[in-house]
Amino acid sequence: MELLFLGTGAGIPAKTRNVTSVALKLLEERRSVWLFDCGEATQHQILHTSIKPRKIEKIFITHLHGDHVYGLPGLVSSRSFQGG
């Protein structure tokens, strides 16, 4: 498995750090991704990785602050356009 930090910043994005989001790429046999939190611009951060949005199997939200959830609408709609 592989752990990818898509964002580790505070409540607002900065030039060098995005808001909170962590992806866990599971074992090769499973070929799926679990996402922990989905802050603003998470889908943009995913573009800089090898993650395919349609492979995201589960999204866990740690709590309902904006910096942990505001990326959900964009990610979910982009994923649906890609047939995911």
Residue 73 pLDDT? 96
Residue 4 pLDDT? 94
Residue 83 pLDDT? 65
To which CATH superfamily is domain 2-81 assigned? Ribonuclease Z/Hydroxyacylglutathione hydrolase-like (3.60.15.10)
Residue 59 pLDDT? 96
Q: How far is CA 66 from the centre of its chain?
A: 14
pLDDT band at 22 (very low <50, low <70, confident <90, very high): very high
Asked about 67 being catalytic, the answer comes back as: yes
Does 38 or 80 have the greater pLDDT score?
Answer: 38
Say which of 7, 21, 39, 67 is annotated catalytic: 67
Give 4: exposed, middle or buried? Use CB within 10 Å, 0-12, 13-18, 19+: middle
Provide the whole-model pTM: 0.86
Q: Report CA-CA distances (Å) from 37 to 2, 8, 28, 80.
A: 16, 11, 23, 19
